[in-house]
């Protein structure tokens, strides 16, 4: 059990300006040597919430503990861990800066109060293999072609990690919804959800270079829709509102597809009695969400069948199951990413369904002591809007509060056999 002991002293070897608070990332203390301060970003976040205007994180390799006046006022909590290591929580202010010292004292004290051993259960990456491959294709295309003078166009919507989007923008890649500004020789990257038949034809006619990063399961659904239409069948495409893959699939079977997004829509489906009806679940849609729509459709057309039973996409279902499994084993689930995105809201809802407390976190500094009070098991679920480094930052910061046992969990569905 950790017994944090706080102390305050005047320290030399630290330079802090009046009105500034320095939060050490590591600190050298004569009696303990150099100590890690992994919780420094958490302390900085508390200081900012308290109204501190200037907060700086920096290493302090050495500080003395003289009897007289020093260069800075240091608040320090030493936390001995069960595994024999020691971590520190600290903040330094200018001498005689009473307001800053009060903020520093309060921030260090509140984090020292929630130190302790914890377990952390992290969900797998939010990016499925098809999306990850498309992201890499975008990166390679931008790196290889922007130097040639030709523009790289990414067909929107392109779902990218925030840092990848910034990287591609810095390389000159442009996200567009049409090819109106493309010039011969320019490069067009088709994202994981695919592109319509019209876009592909336009690109070919205008002499554009196509890089096709369509997810294999989406591509297979497009091809199957085209073949079914050629046979005169009507297709009910079971989909989610606004799904990006819907348009590219329906474009391959124009006039033969009805998009079904609700049970009422399935019940209202109309097809000529002489035309057989097939249904397809749009890749990327959780199979659990599709089940009710399939039942409603088959109540209307009992002979309707799925022509892709062996090629279903379980990525969304596996991801949802992973989030619920992580939540079931956690007192608190931190959902990483922007609270304004639908993905974060959906993950938070899935975690709550498993009975866990949920907090949405867009930056490590947003984690508060109140979130962790009484919490011994933490779940970590990343949304597609979370920077890739955020999970690592949160884990490192929590490890700065005491022993942290980290495990990773992923629910994965494996298909037996080879789909036709």
The answer to whether 113 and 137 are in contact (CB under 8 A) is no
Are 332 and 285 contained in the same domain? no
Is pLDDT above 90 for 304? Answer: no
Please tell me the predicted confidence (pLDDT) of residue 223: 93
Q: What is the pLDDT of residues 265-276, one digit of tens each?
A: 888 887 665 568
Task: Give the angle 186-188-190 at the CA atoms, nearest 5°.
Answer: 175
The helix or strand, by DSSP H or E, that contains position 300, with its residue range, turns out to be: helix 287-300
Q: What is the pLDDT of residues 164-213, one digit of tens each?
A: 999 999 988 999 999 999 999 999 999 999 999 999 999 999 999 999 99
In a domain? residue 157? no
Q: What is the pLDDT of residues 73-107, one digit of tens each?
A: 999 998 777 777 788 999 999 988 999 999 999 99
- Residue 172 has φ and ψ, to the nearest 5°, of 95, 0
In a domain? residue 15? yes
Residue finishing a domain among 115, 133, 165:
115
In a domain? residue 109? yes
Q: In the predicted model, what is the mean pLDDT of the chain? A: 89
Q: Please tell me the distance from the alpha carbon of residue 375 to that of residue 217, in angstroms, as a whole number.
A: 41
Are 64 and 24 contained in the same domain? yes
In a domain? residue 251? yes
User: pLDDT band for position 308 (50/70/90)?
Assistant: low
Split into its structural domains, the chain has a count of 3
Are 34 and 99 contained in the same domain? yes
Q: What is the pLDDT of residues 126-172, one digit of tens each?
A: 999 999 999 999 988 888 876 778 899 999 888 888 999 999 999 88
Are 280 and 323 contained in the same domain? no
Tell me if residue 84 falls in helix, strand or coil.
coil
Residue finishing a domain among 255, 277, 300:
300
* Domain span including residue 340: 121-125+315-409
Please tell me the predicted confidence (pLDDT) of residue 2: 37
Mean pLDDT of 227-242: 91
Mean pLDDT of 214-222: 93
Are 296 and 320 contained in the same domain? no
Are 294 and 382 contained in the same domain? no
Task: Using a pLDDT cut of 70, give the percent of the chain over it.
Answer: 94
Please tell me the predicted confidence (pLDDT) of residue 62: 81
- Residue 211 has φ and ψ, to the nearest 5°, of -115, 110
Are 323 and 284 contained in the same domain? no
Angle of the 40-49 helix axis to the 390-399 helix axis, nearest 10: 100
Are 260 and 325 contained in the same domain? no
Tell me the whole-structure pTM to 2 decimals. 0.88
Domain of 259: which CATH number? 3.40.1010.20
């Amino acid at each position: 059990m950790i017994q944090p002991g706080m102390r305050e002293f005047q320290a030399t070897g630290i330079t802090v300006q009046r009105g500034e608070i320095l939060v050490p990332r590591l600190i050298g203390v004569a009696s303990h040597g150099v100590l890690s301060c992994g919780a420094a970003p958490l302390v900085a976040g508390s200081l900012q919430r308290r109204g501190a205007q200037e907060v700086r994180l920096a290493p302090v390799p050495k500080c003395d503990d003289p009897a007289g006046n020093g260069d800075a006022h240091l608040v320090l909590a030493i936390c001995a861990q069960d595994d024999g290591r020691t971590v520190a929580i600290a903040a330094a202010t200018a001498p005689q800066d009473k307001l800053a010292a009060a903020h520093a004292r309060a921030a260090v004290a509140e984090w020292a109060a929630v130190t302790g051993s914890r377990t952390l259960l992290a969900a797998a990456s939010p990016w499925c293999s098809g999306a990850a491959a498309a992201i890499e294709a975008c990166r390679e295309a931008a790196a290889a072609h922007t130097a040639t003078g030709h523009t790289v166009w990414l067909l929107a919507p392109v779902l990218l990690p925030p840092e990848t989007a910034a990287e591609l923008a810095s390389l000159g890649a442009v996200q567009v919804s049409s090819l109106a500004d493309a010039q011969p020789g320019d490069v067009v990257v088709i994202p994981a959800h695919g592109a319509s038949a019209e876009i592909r034809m336009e690109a070919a006619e205008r002499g554009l270079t196509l890089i096709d990063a369509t997810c294999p399961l989406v591509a297979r659904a497009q091809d199957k829709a085209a073949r079914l239409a050629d046979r005169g069948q009507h297709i009910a495409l079971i989909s989610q509102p606004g799904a990006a893959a819907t348009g590219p699939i329906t474009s391959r079977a124009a006039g033969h597809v009805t998009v079904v997004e609700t049970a009422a829509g399935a019940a209202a489906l109309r097809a000529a009695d002489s035309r057989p009806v097939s249904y397809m679940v749009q890749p990327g849609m959780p199979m659990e969400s599709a089940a009710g729509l399939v039942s409603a459709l088959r109540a209307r057309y009992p002979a309707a069948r799925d022509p892709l039973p062996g090629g279903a996409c379980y990525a969304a279902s596996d991801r949802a199951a992973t989030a619920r499994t992580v939540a079931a084993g956690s007192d608190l689930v931190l959902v990483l990413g922007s609270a304004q995105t639908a993905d974060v809201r959906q993950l938070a809802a899935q975690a709550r369904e498993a009975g866990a407390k949920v907090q949405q976190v867009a930056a490590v500094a947003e984690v508060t002591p109140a979130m962790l009070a009484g919490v011994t098991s933490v779940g970590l679920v990343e949304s597609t809007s979370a920077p890739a480094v955020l999970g690592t930052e949160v884990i490192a910061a929590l490890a700065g509060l005491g022993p942290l046992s980290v495990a990773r969990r992923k629910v994965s569905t494996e298909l037996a056999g080879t789909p036709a």
